[in-house]
Amino acid sequence: MELNLKGKRALVTGGSKGIGWACACALADEGCEVMIAARNPPAASRHKFRAADLSQRGAAEALAEWAGELDILVNNAGAIPGGDLLRVDEDTWRRAWDLKVFGYLNLTRQVYARMKARKSGVIVNILGNAGEKLDASYIAGSTANAGLMAFTRTLGGASHADGIRVVGINPGPVATDRLKSLFRQRAEAKFGDPERYQELFAGMSFGRPATPEEIAWMVAFLASERSAYTTGCIVSIDGGLASRST
């Protein structure tokens, strides 16, 4: 399917690895001019890069100024640590939310204003299925993702008046370096061999996590004119995890 994205300008945050890098590559493969922002540079130099820590005040404004006029924004930066209410202290909670929650809100505000002036643009928020499959052992992340789901739906429900679409994606487990590292640790503890980590995927849907590319392909589709009537909604890519009753 031709997505007609050639020549579009896109910015992907958290774009140096994992889902963000896959999104940047998928958009570039469709002909977009892609810029990425992250705390650390990517291993490859395929895209324009700017170092940015969106948890810091003023970072969103500086990044939006650097990126210029955008057709597509993919908010992806941020990872929230696990833990229940008593394990996650206030400083940890605030640091995590400053990056993922306020990072998304502040950059969206800056980019949205420019898109509104042109009456055109798409914002894709990468969230997480913990926002709908609530998990008390990941309370800061579940609460953050649920809030960002509400933000995406609220803004996206009204953004059509400004010629803008705002959509979200809730990934479930994805085979990023972070997830593989976690499962290697578990395999070391269970089997005494970290390289047996894939055996621990057996209980997942289809016996595996999603690939970063499976998230990225949906980003490209949602950002394209093939999805031109889609806004204010969340797409779950979690192998049905959020729909399970147990």
Residue ranges with strand state E in 48-138: 48-51, 72-75, 121-126
pLDDT of 246: 62
Question: Averaged over 115-143, what is the pLDDT?
Answer: 96
244 has pLDDT over 90: no
Domains and CATH numbers, the chain: 9-174+211-235 (3.40.50.720), 175-209 (no CATH)
* Contact call for residues 213 and 134 (beta carbons, < 8 A): no
What is the average per-residue pLDDT within 95-111? 97
Residue with tokens 């579009």: 8
Region 150-164 average pLDDT: 98
pLDDT value for 178: 86
Q: Quick one: pLDDT at residue 43? A: 87
Question: Residue range 210-238: average pLDDT?
Answer: 98
Condensed to tens digits (0 to 9), the pLDDT of residues 162-190 reads: 999 999 999 999 999 989 988 999 899 99
Smallest Cα–Cα separation from 236: which of 95, 130, 134? 130
How far apart are alpha carbons 11 and 34 in whole angstroms? 6
Amino acid at 103: G
Tens of pLDDT along 37-52?
Answer: 999 999 888 899 999 9
pLDDT tens by residue, 62-90: 999 999 999 999 999 998 998 999 999 99
User: Alpha-carbon distance 62 to 53, whole Å?
Assistant: 11
pLDDT over 80 at 113, yes or no: yes
Give yes or no for residue 228 having a pLDDT over 80: yes
Distances from the Cα of 44 to the Cαs of 36, 63, 77, 128, 222, in angstroms? 12, 21, 18, 26, 26
Whole-number pLDDT of residue 45 = 82
pLDDT of 120 strictly over 70: yes
Q: For residues 102 and 142, what is the distance between their CA atoms, to the nearest angstrom?
A: 15
Mean pLDDT of 3-21: 97
Partners of 167 in the β-ladder: 124
Residue 4 has pLDDT above 70, yes or no: yes
